């Protein structure tokens, strides 16, 4: 109030400072560069696999950049991230493969509940790496709730059934 009474614009200054922060696109590009070079460690202290980076790149290009790319990370809220997740979960139609080519597993991410949850989890991980590197002050994805996935039904193969039968007979 004191600054406003003196002719200042504290709200405008705060908005300008928020806009000057690092954007989601810049953090994602940093992550892809660092992970691709092997400087970021994933699970069990090993470099992130090339296949994981390829899927992350797809999620970033198809879902994250179009929805959140221009926003500064410091202005993101849990609600923004959960809204992105909800928008991804309703997009079900996969892109048509090029003429003469079949669609393969592990291609471009297209949407659905599973892709939405994995995209939110990936963003949480990217922001955690950026926070450790000092690029951002806080992880805006902390506290965001992922859509629950559906469980898979696993059946034993014939070899596993034989092995189980053998062990049971011996017991």
pLDDT for 120-140, tens place per residue? 999 999 999 999 999 999 999
This prediction has a pTM of 0.69
- In terms of Cβ atoms closer than 10 Å to its own Cβ (0-12, 13-18, 19+), residue 65 is middle
pLDDT for 133-168, tens place per residue? 999 999 999 999 998 877 778 899 999 999 999 999
Handedness of CA 77, 75, 140, 28 (dihedral sign): positive
Distance CA 91, CA 79 (A): 19
C-alpha of 101 from chain center:
28
Report which of 75, 60, 61 is spatially closest to residue 21, judged by C-alpha positions: 75
pLDDT for 38-56, tens place per residue? 999 988 899 999 999 999 9
Task: Please give the share of the chain, as a percent, with pLDDT higher than 90.
Answer: 62
| First-to-final CA distance of the chain | 80
pLDDT for 77-103, tens place per residue? 999 999 999 989 887 444 455 666 555
């Amino acid at each position: 109030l004191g600054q406003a009474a003196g002719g200042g614009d504290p709200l405008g200054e705060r908005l300008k400072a928020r806009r000057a922060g690092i954007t989601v696109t810049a953090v994602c590009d940093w992550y892809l560069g660092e992970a691709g070079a092997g400087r970021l460690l994933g699970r069990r202290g090993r470099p992130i696999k090339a296949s994981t980076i390829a899927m992350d790149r797809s999620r970033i290009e198809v879902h994250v950049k179009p929805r959140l790319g221009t926003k500064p990370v410091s202005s993101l809220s849990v609600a923004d991230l959960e809204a992105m997740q909800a928008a991804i979960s309703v997009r079900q139609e996969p892109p048509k493969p090029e003429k003469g080519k079949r669609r393969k597993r592990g291609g471009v991410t297209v949407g659905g509940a599973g892709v939405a949850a994995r995209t939110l989890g990936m963003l949480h991980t990217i922001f955690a790496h950026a926070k450790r590197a000092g690029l951002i002050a806080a992880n805006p994805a902390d506290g965001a709730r992922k859509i629950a996935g559906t469980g898979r039904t696993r059946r034993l193969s014939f070899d596993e059934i034989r092995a189980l039968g053998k062990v049971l007979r011996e017991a």
